[in-house]
Each structure stands twice: as structure tokens, then as C-alpha cells.
Amino acid sequence: MLARLGQREWALIAIALTLVVALLWYFLLIVPLRQETETVRQEIERLIPERNRGRQAQRALPELRAAIAELQAERQAFLRALPKEERLAQVLNEILTEALRSGVTVRSFTRSPTSAPVPEVRAVNLALSLEAPFPETYAYLKRLEGLSRFSSLSGLNLSVQGQDPNPLLSTSLTLTLYMLAKDLGQPEGATQTQGAPSPPAAQGGGR
């Protein structure tokens, strides 16, 4: 049968076989290769921003290390400067002295321990109850803020008494005292300083 095929038929068979081989080569080799190339291209596009961020972070690394070292040095300096005890009597004396100077009456105060922001530091809350007109109260609060770099004010609450043009204000606030933790600044068996008994209320200066 093949012997009876003419030159034209053989040419058509060769063309058909060539087309089949070309299609197989395209679908089995070219298409997967294109898909893989597209996948690699997308992966490269995804990784380029990460590479750029990595290079920026690498360039900023020396500054970051210097900033961390500076913060650690400041932290250690702060811890070294922290008092190793509450010095409650000294603080109360300053509070009452400033109250007399400002014309504010300290009605009561209570002491209670509280949590500190870092483990090397412990804190004590001193809740104060005050009474005075607004100008005297404001001046006293400004003086309390400047008492010590190792204290902070929080929980400020004001309420008006009466309807006078310059009425009395009842003020409650919390003064937090910070000090070095006992296991760092004191012997393990040392006891924590306790608050002294409340002295008589300090009356404000003449108004």
C-alpha cells in the first residue's frame, strides 16, 4: 500500500507529521516553559520590594544600633539615679510645705503599692485629697509636678463646692513614687519602708 503512494501523498504525510510534532513540542515544552517563566517573573516582582526594604534596613542598622545603645545607657543612668527607698517622710514634708506655700489644704493621703513599668523599678501610689480655690489648686499642682523627676501625677479629679464666684475645689489625685526594686538596691531580707502615720491636715495660707 505504501508502495502505491505517490510523491504528493508522501509530501502530505510529512507535512502532517511535522505539524503533529510541532504541536506536541509547543504544548509539552513551550507552554510549560512560559508558565514557569511567568511564575518566576511574578516571584521576582514580589521579592523586589522586600529586597529594597532589606537594603534600607541594612543602611539604617548602624543608626538603629547607636539609638539602642543610647537608650540602654539612658536607662542604666536612670536606674542608677533612682532612690533605693521611698523617702516617704521627705516626700510628705515637701507635699505639705508646698501646700502651705500655695494656700491648699491637704485633707488626707493614703499610701498603696502599685505595679511599675519595668521589673527593675517598683512604685508606690500616694492618693491625696485637697481643698482650695482653683488658682491655688492650679499653682499647687504645678509645684507638685516639679517636686521630683522620680514621681508622676495621675487620676486627677476636681469637684466644685458651693456657688461662690471663686468656689472651693475638692481635688483628688494620685502621686506615684518610683524607686529601685528591692532585689537590686537592697538586701533580700530588707523590709519595705512603711508610710508614717498621717500628720494633722496642713491648712492653707491665708486667702
d(CA 14, CA 20): 10
Report the chain's terminal Cα–Cα distance, integer Å: 132
What is the pTM assigned to this prediction? 0.50
Write the pLDDT tens digit of every residue in 88-116. 788 888 888 888 888 999 888 888 888 77
Write the pLDDT tens digit of every residue in 133-159. 989 998 898 888 877 667 788 888 888
Average pLDDT over residues 61-89: 83
Specify the DSSP element, H or E, that contains 180.
Answer: strand 168-180
Specify the DSSP element, H or E, that contains 68.
Answer: helix 31-81
Question: Is a pLDDT exceeding 80 seen at residue 204?
Answer: no
DSSP 8-state secondary structure symbol assigned to residue 2: G
Specify the DSSP element, H or E, that contains 120.
Answer: none
pLDDT at 86: 67
